[in-house]
């Protein structure tokens, strides 16, 4: 019977350690850190702050939109070539568009 009791105590200790480790990983992620998860000596996952996951999803969405990527490249080419307008000019143009609606 003591072998079973020892096994139960060892399992409970491991569960407690796992819960403590998980709480630590969550606490670290809350502070902006990405925490690797290792199982059986292999890196299997990461605990990431939810804001970081949102940013990654947004990046994937943007990079998946070929029209948007083309527009961004064209815009950067315009800036490089000096084809820009001031914020005041942009505001006036937007106001004129609203007035014409």
* Annotated domain spans of the chain: 1-48
- For the stretch 69-91, what's the b/e string if a residue is b when 16 or more beta carbons lie within 10 angstroms of its beta carbon? eeeeeeeeeeeeeeeeeeeeeee
Q: What is the pLDDT of residues 65-86, one digit of tens each?
A: 999 999 999 999 999 999 999 9
Residues 6 or more apart whose Cβ sits within 8 Å of residue 84:
78
Can you give the pTM of this predicted structure? Answer: 0.48
- Report the chain's mean pLDDT, rounded to a whole number: 83
Nearest Cα to Cα of residue 90 among 80, 77, 75, 68: 75
Residue with tokens 């961004």: 72
- pLDDT per residue as tens digits for the range 33-46: 999 888 888 888 88
The tokens for 28 are 């670290």
């Amino acid at each position: 019977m003591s072998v079973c009791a020892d096994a139960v105590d060892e399992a409970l200790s491991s569960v407690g350690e796992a819960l403590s480790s998980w709480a630590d990983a969550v606490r670290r992620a809350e502070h902006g850190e990405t925490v690797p998860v290792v199982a059986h000596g292999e890196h299997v996952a990461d605990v990431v702050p939810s804001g970081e996951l949102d940013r990654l999803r947004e990046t994937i969405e943007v990079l998946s939109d070929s029209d948007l990527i083309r527009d961004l490249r064209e815009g950067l080419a315009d800036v490089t070539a000096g084809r820009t307008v001031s914020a005041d000019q942009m505001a006036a143009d937007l106001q004129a568009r609203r007035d014409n609606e």
